[in-house]
Amino acid sequence: MNKNKTSNASKSDVRYLIRIYDRTETFQAPENRNLLVSMEQTRLAMIGVGCRGGGCGKCRIRVLKGGYNSKRMSRAWISEEEEAQGMVLACRIFARSDMLIVPYPPKLTPGYQMLSHD
């Protein structure tokens, strides 16, 4: 029996490119690892790190572009309105495509527009 390991790529082999708005640094995020841990494993420090479990709100980011799955996020840190605008906790989301994010997003200035999908 011929076993071809390369044809059995697991989900953990899928990685997405995460870009930071207005920065040159990037990191890769495997599908099965949250964004915050993926950033830490690249030895970057662009997103605030705290509890790593959704309890402190330090890892707030805004997703400008890209898809993700998320675990439940406390309304203490992400309101419904903020979530609808792409605000999430990096320790609670999992990339499902290449993404563009803003750590600790500033108030959006008038005239600012969300980036469109390619």
15, 19, 33, 52: which one binds ligand FES (CB under 6 A): 52
18, 20, 39, 89: which one binds ligand FES (CB under 6 A): 89
Contact between residue 48 and residue 60 where contact means Cβ atoms under 8 Å apart: yes
Tell whether residue 61 is a contact of ligand FES (CB under 6 A). Answer: no
Q: Which stretch binds ligand FES (CB under 6 A): 23-31, 45-53, 63-71, 80-88?
A: 45-53
DSSP alpha helix (H) spans, 9-114: 35-41, 80-84
How is residue 41 annotated by DSSP? Answer: H
18, 20, 59, 61: which one binds ligand FES (CB under 6 A): 59
* Half-sphere exposure in the Cβ direction for 39 (13 Å, CA): 25
When the beta carbons of 80 and 118 are compared against ligand FES, the nearer one is: 80
Q: Which amino acid belongs to residue 57?
A: G
When the beta carbons of 48 and 67 are compared against ligand FES, the nearer one is: 48
54, 61, 93, 94: which one binds ligand FES (CB under 6 A): 54
Contact between residue 15 and residue 6 where contact means Cβ atoms under 8 Å apart: no
97 vs 4, 34, 76, 108, CA distance in Å?
Answer: 27, 13, 27, 24
**Binding stretches for ligand FES (CB under 6 A):** 36, 49-52, 54-59, 89, 91
